[in-house]
Amino acid sequence: MEDDLPVLLLYCQHSVGIGHLRRSIAVVEPLAQYFRVVFLNGGRFPDAILRPSNIEFIDLPPLGMEADGKLVTRVQGCDVAEAKNRRRKMIMDTYLRLQPAVVLIELFPFGRKKFAFELLPLLRAAKRSDPKPLVVCSLRDILVDGRDDQQYFDDRARWLTDRYFDAVLVHTDPKFAKLDESFRPSRPLKTPLFYTGFALADDTDNGNSNIDSQPGIVVSAGGGIVGTGLLHAAVEAQPRLCGKLNASMTIVAGPFLPEIDWLSLTRFARKRPGLTLYRSVPNLRHLLKNAKVSISQCGYNTVMDLLQAQVPALVIPYSEGQENEQSKRAEKLAGLGMVRILEESELNPDNMITQLEALCSSTNRRHGFDMDGCKQTRNVIIQLAEARKTEAEEVTSGTMA
């Protein structure tokens, strides 16, 4: 019975794209056999992402981030202050009602500083609880590290982690990236650190049966909210690209692409033979497996799909403001000969065509990375949770004796 299972409470906030959401779902889905998984979702949940039936979702009033880092509400008629109050109450009410055995928090305190208003009360409540839940942080492969106050930020994150967390899970193969490459506190982290391997979502069809299975050139921009420049450059280059590669082009715009930009793309598509547009697809990897080339940004989940599909890839990493995570990931992949990079500052149709011509004959798409991160995450959390339960039982037994 589901009610007999211990509760795993997951917090995930996706503010710009959808990568954090996709990865978090992939990570906890295998755990649903062992826990009642309750997913606190802090961002807009796009229709294209399927909600697994074995996970309970609680949608908080969605907040997001503008390109300048400003926190904004995604609920009409609800300002940021009201959304914050409602979210904080919902999180605390859920925690107190469920008394979870495991609290899994995605990214914080290594990111999401603006969401400390609701996460610190949760962490303090967990620390005061008896029995105390296992508290775990879930991290991607590479962190942003270009802040003006980076040393203070890293030191603060180290202090919060050691104070409130029992483990940090980094979803990468350490042969590709290690945490200390983008996280350098003045004092070493004491909290146990586990590298799980890359966390790859289940490769089921998920509703792609009506999607073109021979797409030729696949262009994608993650969630789409910061993909306008990439998509418009691809559309402008499309006639020449399709001619040179003797292939059609399929564009997956992303569920969060601003509506005005989506309307502009659809207007162009009507005049372009060989160009197909999708607002979003359930499984990008299904398209990439049969593609000649991929043109995309370089977010974590897109790279997982590229590694699995082994398709020649041109990446245009998102690098606005202080964001440097995608650029660092792209540089690592390019250093291994697995992708070619076109910087956002150099993005135009001519440069895109030049890079793609070089791409098709130069990339090495084989890799030996550990891609079993979801399974290994499951194993680590179960092992740590069982140890915590045994410890609590021994304490109770000793007290009773």
Q: Mind listing the pLDDT tens digit for each residue in 263-303?
A: 999 998 888 889 999 999 888 998 998 899 999 999 999 99
Q: Which domain holds residue 293?
A: 216-359
CATH code, domain carrying 328? 3.40.50.2000
Q: Considering the domain boundaries, does residue 175 fall inside one?
A: yes
Contact between 381 and 31 under an 8 Å Cβ cutoff? The reply is yes
Q: Which residues contact 253 (CB under 8 A, 6 or more apart)?
A: 221, 224, 227, 231, 261, 262, 265, 277, 278, 279, 280
Same domain, yes or no: 225 and 85: no
In this structure, the answer to whether residues 277 and 389 fall within a common structural domain is: no
Per-residue pLDDT at 4: 86
Same domain as 58, residue 88: yes
Q: Residues 158, 269: one domain?
A: no
pTM of the model: 0.92
Residues 246, 394, single domain; the answer is no
| The predicted structure's pLDDT at residue 1 | 41
| Domain shared by 333 and 250, yes or no | yes
Token couple for 370: 């550990």
Q: Are residues 241 and 129 in the same domain?
A: no
Q: Do residue 167 and residue 261 come from a single domain?
A: no
Are residues 108 and 142 part of one domain? yes
Residue 342 lies in a domain: yes
Sign, CA dihedral 330-335-338-343, equals positive
Looking at the domain assignment, is residue 208 inside a domain? no
pLDDT the model gives residue 371: 95
Q: Given strand 55-59, what is the order of strands in its sheet?
A: 55-59, 36-41, 7-12, 102-106, 134-139, 167-170, 193-195
The pLDDT value recorded for residue 49 is: 87
Interatomic CA distance for residues 160 and 67, integer angstroms: 26
pLDDT at 17: 80
* 304 and 391 in a common domain: no
For residues 312 and 364, give the distance between their C-alpha atoms in angstroms, rounded to a whole number. Answer: 8
Per the structure, how many domains does the chain have? 2
> What are the CA-CA distances from residue 158 to residues 11, 112, 151, 401 (Å)?
19, 14, 11, 38
C-beta of residue 63 within 8 angstroms of C-beta of residue 73: yes
| Residue 40: inside a domain | yes
**Do 139 and 26 fall into the same domain?**
yes
- Asked if residue 248 and residue 224 are part of one domain, the reply reads yes
Answer whether residue 239 is part of any domain.
Answer: yes
Low-confidence ranges of the chain (pLDDT < 70): 1-3, 67-68, 203-214, 321, 360-365, 398-401
In a domain, 114, yes or no: yes
